[in-house]
Amino acid sequence: MKILVPVKRAIDYNVKVRVKADNSGVDLTNAKMAINPFCEIAVEEAVRLKEQGIAEEVVVVSVGDKSCQEQIRTALALGADRGIQIDTEEKLESLQIAKLLAKLVEKESPGLVILGKQSIDSDNNQTGQMLAALTGMPQGTFASKVEVSENSVKVTREVDGGLQTVALDLPAVVTTDLRLNEPRYASLPNIMKAKRKPLEVIPAADFGVDLTSKVTVLKVTAPAQRAGGVKVASVAELVDKLKNEAKVIS
Amino acid sequence: MSVLVYAEHDNHQLKSETAKLVNAASKIGGDIHVLVAGSGCEALAQAAAKIAGVAKVLLVDNEHFSHQLAENTADLLVEMGKDYSHLMASASTTGKNFMPRVAALLDVAQLSDVIDIISADTFVRPIYAGNAIATVQSQDTIKVMTVRASAFDASPESGDAAVATLALGGAAKGAQFVAEELTESARPELGAAEVIISGGRGMQNGENFALLEGIADKLGAAIGASRAAVDAGFVPNDMQVGQTGKIVAPQLYIAVGISGAIQHLAGMKDSKVIVAINKDEEAPIFQVADYGLVGDLFEILPELEKSL
Ligand SMILES: Cc1cc2nc3c(=O)[nH]c(=O)nc-3n(C[C@H](O)[C@H](O)[C@H](O)COP(=O)(O)OP(=O)(O)OC[C@H]3O[C@@H](n4cnc5c(N)ncnc54)[C@H](O)[C@@H]3O)c2cc1C
């Protein structure tokens, strides 16, 4: 079985973002970029399935300009076999990404597609579900456990009330949650090896997909800041403030 | 213009999110219909009919929807959705599971986690863990969105809408429910609680969460946790508050042994009053806390419980 893992280049999760003064977006100049944490978990899961002999090949794909090759190389260093960059300068929305991925699924025919459940920049949590819809595949979102058997995959999902397990016919789409696995660190020899693994660049235009979106961002602003609070010296003072000043307990 | 609101429920109970979504829908204008899709959920349709502002409740009650799987729930909404200008579901794990599917099948964008509605085509949503707020305009013919219920007040219970039963929907293609493991708790749900007390890595283990329980009992509070506490296995995943867990905005949020990483703040910084208890006076959580108490939680919590 072949596993396709779409990954996204996103701001490093430790960076605190600033909104641009003209409210046109977030200032990413010189910001540290990384593979989106949930995508990294997806790569790790696919590589483990290969190590267990369940998958034969792990293909990573990223949609973006040349800079996202860096994240594809990261995934290759973690153990993926080959990379594909779908080349575009445009900032695409989830639906357009899903349409491109759906075309790639047609071409590559993976048995399983594993993606991160959300990217920590746009926080959309959409691409996997949209890809499943467009390809007619069943989906197992927010996965904390994935068990692949002959023709199906059992996915344990983190849901608001606890855990839910579903069984999906293959091919299927799985999106990862935080507790699915802990990604490994790439070793230096593997980073070197990754440089020689194949990375194909396909112009987005080659897929013949309409990439326009009907959603426009009018402005991006900073969130309301909380007024600074006070330190209290004792439990008695805390309880008094909560009762008599904030009036949130009685 | 007309809005279809997907009722959040578990077949036994209509969740408090539903009335909040109806209030959000009322800011769009036009008729509001509520869809209750589930199994053995007729009573919930009656409950939805009482939410003020609802023009009609549509009940789809059959075994195919007993677990609200994404595959057939999306197909149902696609079938029904063409008659509406807006489709709305809660930004819960249920809504987030099927709504993007609905949008893709209708060939429109989906807006996630809407926190404010400016007009019928302009919406506000947080990005970058809430460190930036985007105002977006959609020209799609059908606007498909998930709404962050904690950002809206509930519509009151003074309505009297008619309930229509629809014979729609089929089995989920390629997907089957296997099992579920739901956390049983007599406490309020995180999304509905007025008071929340959360523990982090500083709690050291699961047993120590008992120190929060006594306080939660006295305050009628729900208990939450940081990712570190969940990852370490102290408590189950459904207690995680944050960017990628539950987003809450109670009257009072008490963070105990939680450092205040941006991903945690994203889930609770809209709470009305925030209390932080932490032994490190430099912990970032104090920057958002209205009241900070520096000290050892193992001394503070028993004392706090006694003084309530
Ligand atoms: C993609 C991604 C998504 C994430 N999503 C979330 C999310 O949804 N929610 C979330 O919470 N995190 C999330 N995180 C993790 C986040 O970055 C932090 O690692 C996490 O919030 C830390 O949890 P903590 O504050 O409990 O632990 P720590 O940061 O280790 O803090 C423990 C705190 O306890 C205090 N302490 C220790 N002992 C005591 C004592 N005896 N008395 C008083 N205080 C004490 C310490 O001073 C310290 O401040 C995410 C991270 C990533 C990368």
pLDDT tens, position by position, B63-103: 999 999 999 999 999 999 999 999 999 999 999 999 999 99
- Measure in Å the smallest separation between the Cα of B160 and chain A Cα atoms: 30
Name the pLDDT band for A225 (thresholds 50, 70, 90): confident
Q: What is the C-alpha to C-alpha distance for residues B37 and B45, in angstroms, rounded to an integer?
A: 9
Average pLDDT over residues A172-199: 97
Q: What is the C-alpha to C-alpha distance for residues A124 and B110, in angstroms, rounded to an integer?
A: 9
**Domain residue spans of chain A:** 2-245
Cα B238 to the center of its chain, rounded Å: 11
Indicate if the pLDDT at residue A227 is higher than 90.
Answer: no
Nearest CA to ligand 1 atom 26: B200
Within 8 A of A163 by CB-CB distance, chain B residues are 180-182, 236-237
Q: Around Cβ B280, how many Cβ atoms within 10 Å?
A: 13
How many degrees, rounded to 5, is the angle at CA A10 between CA A214 and CA A85? 80
Average pLDDT over residues B104-124: 98
Mean pLDDT of chain A: 97
Within 8 A of A95 by CB-CB distance, chain B residues are 103-104, 107-110
Query: pLDDT for A124-162, tens place per residue?
Result: 999 999 999 999 999 999 999 999 998 999 999 999 999
Domains in chain B, start-ordered, CATH in brackets?
2-165 (3.40.50.620), 195-306 (3.40.50.1220)
Indicate if the pLDDT at residue A250 is higher than 90.
Answer: no
* β-sheet bridge partners, residue A200: A84
Query: pLDDT for A17-33, tens place per residue?
Result: 999 999 999 999 999 99
Q: Given the structure tokens 């994404």, which residue do they identify?
A: B70
SS (H, E, C) A116-156: ECCCCCCCCCCHHHHHHHHHCCCEEEEEEEEEECCCEEEEE
Ligand 1 atom, smallest distance to B229 CA: 26
What percent of chain B stands above pLDDT 90?
A: 98
* β-sheet bridge partners, residue A121: none
Average pLDDT over residues A3-20: 96
Indicate if the pLDDT at residue A180 is higher than 90.
Answer: yes
- Asked whether the beta carbons of B142 and B87 are under 8 A apart, the reply is yes
Q: What is the best residue among B259, B287, B294, B297 to mutate for testing ligand 1's pocket, by most ligand atoms within 8 Å of CB?
A: B259
Q: Is the Cβ of B97 closer than 8 Å to some Cβ of chain A?
A: yes
Average pLDDT over residues B257-284: 97
Tell me, using a 6 A CB cutoff, whether residue B200 lines ligand 1.
yes
Average pLDDT over residues A213-217: 95
Indicate if the pLDDT at residue B185 is higher than 90.
Answer: no
In terms of CATH, what superfamily is A2-245? Answer: HUPs (3.40.50.620)
- Measure in Å the smallest separation between the Cα of A127 and chain B Cα atoms: 8
- Asked whether the beta carbons of B245 and B267 are under 8 A apart, the reply is yes
* β-sheet bridge partners, residue B229: none
Query: pLDDT for B42-71, tens place per residue?
Result: 999 999 999 999 999 999 999 999 999 999
- The answer to whether the Cβ–Cβ distance between B100 and A126 falls below 8 Å is yes
Q: Which of B217, B214, B208 is nearest to B225 (CA)?
A: B208
Q: Given the structure tokens 């596993």, which residue do they identify?
A: A3
Of A38, A160, A221, the CB nearest to B92: A160
Q: Given the structure tokens 């926080």, which residue do they identify?
A: A123
Find the residue in B nearest to A164 (Cα).
B180
Average pLDDT over residues B219-235: 97
Indicate if the pLDDT at residue A226 is higher than 90.
Answer: no
- Measure in Å the smallest separation between the Cα of B255 and chain A Cα atoms: 13
Average pLDDT over residues B134-141: 98
SS3 B54: coil
Residue A228: its pLDDT value, please? Answer: 78
Within 8 A of A248 by CB-CB distance, chain B residues are 195, 251-252, 272-273
Name the pLDDT band for A99 (thresholds 50, 70, 90): very high
Tell me, using a 6 A CB cutoff, whether residue B278 lines ligand 1.
yes
- The answer to whether the Cβ–Cβ distance between B103 and A95 falls below 8 Å is yes
